[in-house]
C-alpha cells in the first residue's frame, strides 16, 4: 500500500477562494522532478490526466484523463459532467520556466509547481487554488491532490504505485474537512 503523508497541505484562503499548498522533499535534482511533472511518460504514474499541447507560457492545453483514471473515478467524473468516452478538460499554461516553475489552469483550478534545488535534491511546492468542488467537496479535492503528490514521491523513488485503501482516504478527507472548516472561522 502507498503510504499517506501524515502532514496535510496548508489550507489557503484569499477572499472566497480556497486552496492548499503542499510541500514534498524529493531526493532527485530539479531536472528529474521537472520531467516527472511535465512529461507524459512520467505523468501517467501519478497524475490522473495527460497534458496535451505545446509547453510554453500562454499555450492552450488539454487534459485527457488516463483510461485507468476514468475506470477508477467514473462515478465522480460523470457527476462532474465529464464525457467518459472523451474525458478531456481544457487549460492554459500560465508560467513555463524549466526546471523551476510550471503553472497552469486546469478547467477552473489553478495549479503552480515550484521546484527549489536543495543539497539533498528538490523541494517541491505545489499550490492549488480550487475551482468547482467535486463530489466530495473541497476536502475531497484536497485529498486527491495530496494522494497524487504522494504517488509522485513513490514514482520517483521507484516504488510501486498503489492507491491508499479507502479507510486511509476517508480519514485523510476527514482531516482536510476539519482543516478547511478551521480556516473558515
CA 67 to the chain's CA centroid: 17
The region that residue 166 occupies, defined by phi over 0 for left and psi between -120 and 50 for alpha, beta otherwise, is: alpha
Q: CB-based burial of residue 115 (10 Å sphere; 0-12 exposed, 13-18 middle, 19+ buried)? A: buried
More confident residue, 72 or 54: 54
Domain ranges (residues) in the chain: 10-46+98-183
Sign of torsion over alpha carbons 37, 14, 179, 82: negative
Q: What pLDDT sits at residue 5?
A: 67
Q: How far apart (Å, rounded) are the C-alpha atoms in residues 30 and 119? A: 11
- In this predicted model, what pLDDT tens digit does every residue of 30-48 receive, in sequence order? 999 999 999 999 999 999 9
Three-state secondary-structure class, residue 139: helix
CB atoms within 10 A of CB 13: 11
C-alpha pair distances (Å), 87 with each of 33, 77, 128, 129:
26, 8, 21, 22
Other Cβ atoms less than 10 A from the Cβ of 54: the count is: 10
The whole-number pLDDT of residue 147 equals 92
Window from 75-79, 97-101, 140-144, 170-174 with minimum mean pLDDT: 75-79
- pTM, two decimals, is 0.91
Exposed (0-12), middle (13-18) or buried (19+): which is 66, by Cβ within 10 Å?
Answer: middle
Q: Tell which CATH classification among 3.40.250.10, 3.30.413.10, 3.30.530.20, 3.10.150.10 matches the domain 10-46+98-183.
A: 3.30.530.20
pLDDT digits (tens, 9 = 90+) for 135-182: 888 999 999 999 999 999 999 999 887 777 888 889 999 999 999 887
Amino acid at each position: 500500500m502507498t503510504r499517506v503523508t501524515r502532514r496535510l497541505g496548508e489550507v489557503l484562503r484569499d477572499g472566497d477562494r480556497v486552496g492548499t499548498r503542499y510541500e514534498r522533499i524529493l531526493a532527485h535534482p530539479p531536472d528529474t522532478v521537472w520531467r516527472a511533472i511535465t512529461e507524459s511518460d512520467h505523468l501517467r504514474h501519478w497524475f490522473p490526466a495527460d497534458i496535451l499541447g505545446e509547453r510554453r507560457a500562454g499555450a492552450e492545453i488539454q487534459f485527457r484523463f488516463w483510461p485507468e483514471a476514468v475506470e477508477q473515478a467514473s462515478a465522480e467524473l460523470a457527476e462532474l459532467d465529464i464525457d467518459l468516452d472523451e474525458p478531456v478538460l481544457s487549460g492554459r499554461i500560465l508560467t513555463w520556466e524549466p526546471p523551476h516553475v510550471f503553472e497552469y489552469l486546469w478547467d477552473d483550478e489553478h495549479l503552480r509547481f515550484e521546484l527549489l534545488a536543495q543539497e539533498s535534491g528538490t523541494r517541491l511546492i505545489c499550490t492549488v487554488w480550487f475551482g468547482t468542488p467535486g463530489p466530495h467537496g473541497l476536502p475531497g479535492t484536497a485529498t486527491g491532490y495530496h494522494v497524487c503528490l504522494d504517488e509522485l514521491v513513490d514514482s520517483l523513488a521507484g516504488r510501486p504505485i498503489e492507491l491508499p485503501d479507502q479507510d486511509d482516504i476517508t480519514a485523510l478527507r476527514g482531516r482536510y474537512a476539519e482543516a478547511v472548516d478551521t480556516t473558515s472561522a
